[in-house]
Structure 1
Amino acid sequence: MTRLFPRCRRPGNHIMGYIMGKVEGQGESWHGHVTAVTVAPEYRRQQLAKKLMNLLEDISDKIDKAYFVDLFVRASNTPAIKMYEKLGYVIYRRVLRYYSGEEDGLDMRKALSRDVKKKSVIPLKRPITPDELEYD
């Protein structure tokens, strides 16, 4: 499993934003996973999240040869969902009560070049529960 933790810094070593991720899974489930992406409020709307996401996607695609990148986001986090959709992510499935057993999570995915037929992003037809998630 490859772990990633790139950061953006400005002069003075102040962290502007970061992304945490890893590459995991087996077979056609070999994928990059975004654990967290955060940009400090004063640096938002400057494409930093996009650049960080692109970096994780490029590493997952070109170095680790993953099939897709995935992430989980709160179903109520409309701004983040819209940003991920602009970056090419689709809602793969809804995970009921994913966050603290209260709020649903959305599993969003973006197919990479190895997934020629884009099988990894064909949405599931029904929501799942957290105990149905597979952790490779």
Structure 2
Amino acid sequence: MTTFRPFRPDDLNRVSKCNLDPLTETYDLSFYVQYYTKWPSLFQVAEDTNGNIVGYIMGKVESSPDYFKFSEHYLPWHAHITALTVAPEARRSGVGSILTEFLEKAADAHEALFVDLFVRKSNTRAINFYEKLGYSVFRVVKDYYGDNVNDPTANGEDAYDMRKSMKRDAKGEHVRADGRDHAVNPEDVF
């Protein structure tokens, strides 16, 4: 049985098991602490019966800075999934879905218009997972990932910027069906 609870700072020493997947983005300790300090309600962990962390989600709520206000790439108030990862032994058990639903509820509580995330274009498993949860590709960010895990000699790998409308965007004005046809450069993304 898996239990879910808010992240605690002492969990930093226990999440490494979840970060072993080569497609999981990992960060330095200060980055995790920053998220915990600024957005504690958007940081949740899943534990197995032995107390091992088998998954976590880390997110934030924000809008683009004011200098982006008149840009076509301006992002209004939204939530962002910075990291979602589940240990191999807990995959396909619903842990990822529950963690994502948790963040979506927090996004609604923060009155976010949508939740977005970035995923490698080659990570079809993750893309299919998010699509089943109602996310769609909003745009392609060219060469977003500086390292290309599929071809280290190539330029960066493209990312899909995926979104799902929250209650505040009841008309779906911040999502689109043809997102794969809309490409932007990394500098256009906040």
- Do they fold alike, i.e. is TM over 0.5? yes
Bigger strand fraction = 1
Three-state SS of the structure 1 residue aligned to 2:169 is coil
Q: Equivalent residue for 1:79?
A: 125
Q: TM-score scaled to structure 1, two decimals?
A: 0.91
Correspondence for 2:138 among 55, 72, 92:
92
Give 5+ residue unaligned stretches, structure 2: 1-37, 70-74, 147-154
Q: Which amino acid aligns with 1:10?
A: D
With the length of structure 2 as denominator, give the TM-score of the two structures. Answer: 0.66
Q: Which residue among 100, 107, 116 is the counterpart of 1:70?
A: 116
Q: Does 1:130 align with 2:163?
A: no
Aligned length: 133
Q: CA deviation at 1:109?
A: 0.0
Deviations 1:38-60 (A, max 9, x none): 10000111010000000000110
Q: Which has the larger radius of gyration?
A: 2
Q: Distance in 1 between matches of 2:117 and 2:136?
A: 10
Contact 2:56–2:84 (Cα < 8 Å) also in 1 = yes
CA distance in 2, matches of 1:76, 1:86: 17
User: Is 1:40 the counterpart of 2:96 in the alignment?
Assistant: no
Structure 2: which amino acid aligns with 1:7? Answer: V
Aligned mates of 1:77, 1:60 — CA distance in 2: 25
Q: Structure 2 CA distance, aligned partners of 1:86 and 1:18?
A: 19
Q: Equivalent residue for 2:16?
A: none
- CA shift, 1:29, in A, is 1.1
The answer to which structure has the higher helix fraction is: 2
Who is 1:107 aligned against?
A: 161
Identity percentage of aligned residues: 46
